[in-house]
Amino acid sequence: MKIVLKVLLIYLLLQIGNTQTCLESKKLDETCGSYCFKVVKQLLGHTNSLQKQVNGQESELKKETLERFANMEQQLRSLKEDIEKPKQNLNEETVKEFQKLYEKIGSKYYYIERQHKINWFAAVHKCHEHGSHLASIQNQQEFNALGPKLKGDHYWIDINDLGHKGVYRSHTTGQATPYFNWYNGEPNNNGHERCVALEERGQPTVQMNDQDCTALNLFVCELFEK
């Protein structure tokens, strides 16, 4: 009899689940008899009480989890700031180091690359990395000061006619180029020549020639005026 009762109790607990309703109590009473009903009812009461505790703990757990997520998000944000900050400082430091390489020639500061030859676009980028721009010669005085420093090779400057063929502009300002000093016969737009270099052709100083922008040349960067 005791075994039958136990099996029945387990069955009923499984069937009834978490919520006790009047209907279920009635059904239980009919199925189980009054003694059994009293015992099972107590057990169900205990189960419900446990369930409430579990529900309470679940909501606490949810709250705690949300708080943890918020905390993690804050930590990630702060970590991101920490990572970006030194990078910014490093760039500023790098720029300062690069700018030590600039020399005053005439009234402006220039960096003359004498080893690595790159195309015009890469030269634009390289000067930007220094916090400067490709040399933008404004007048005869600047040309006279810089020219003698550029020996034996081709050096990119900021003049180009990439926008409209034959209309030369300064890449630095986007404005029409204020000063030219072309070799005789240049610019000749030979093939696809849209970028300008200073070059020496056995003359006492360099002069301008339009070249293919993908040609590999040395280059001159110039610091922005403060």
Question: Which residues of this protein are in contact with Ca ion, per CB under 5 A?
Answer: 161, 186-190, 193, 209-210
Position closest to Ca ion via CB: 210
Shortest Å, Cβ 182 to Ca ion: 9
Q: What is the DSSP string of 188-225?
A: ---SSEEEEEEE-SSSSS-EEEEEETTS-EEEEEEEPP
What residues have CB less than 8 Å from 113, skipping those under 6 apart? 123, 126, 155, 218, 219, 220, 221
Residue 15 near residue 45, CB atoms below 8 Å = no
From the CB of 93, what's the least distance to Ca ion, in Å?
A: 39
Distance CA 155, CA 196 (A): 9
3-class DSSP assignment, residue 107: coil
Question: Residue 170: left (phi > 0), alpha (psi -120 to 50), or beta?
Answer: beta
Least distance (Å) from Ca ion to the CB of residue 186? Answer: 5
What's the chain's length in residues? 226
The distance of closest approach from Cβ of residue 219 to Ca ion in the complex, given in angstroms and rounded to an integer, is: 17
C-beta closer to Ca ion: residue 172 or 211: 211
Shortest Cβ 207–Ca ion spacing (Å): 11
Distance, in Å, from the CA atom of 172 to the CA atom of 53, rounded to the nearest integer, reads 72
The nearer residue to Ca ion, 115 or 184, going by C-beta atoms, is 184
Which CB, 12 or 195, lies closer to Ca ion?
Answer: 195
Residue with Cβ nearer Ca ion (102 or 180): 180
Nearest approach in angstroms of CB 119 to Ca ion is 15
Closest to Ca ion by CB, 132 vs 211, is: 211
The two structure tokens encoding residue 38: 């009293």
Q: Which is nearer to Ca ion, 6 or 165 (CB)?
A: 165
By the 8 A CB rule, do 103 and 220 touch? no
Give the span between the Cα atoms of 146 and 108, in whole angstroms. Answer: 9
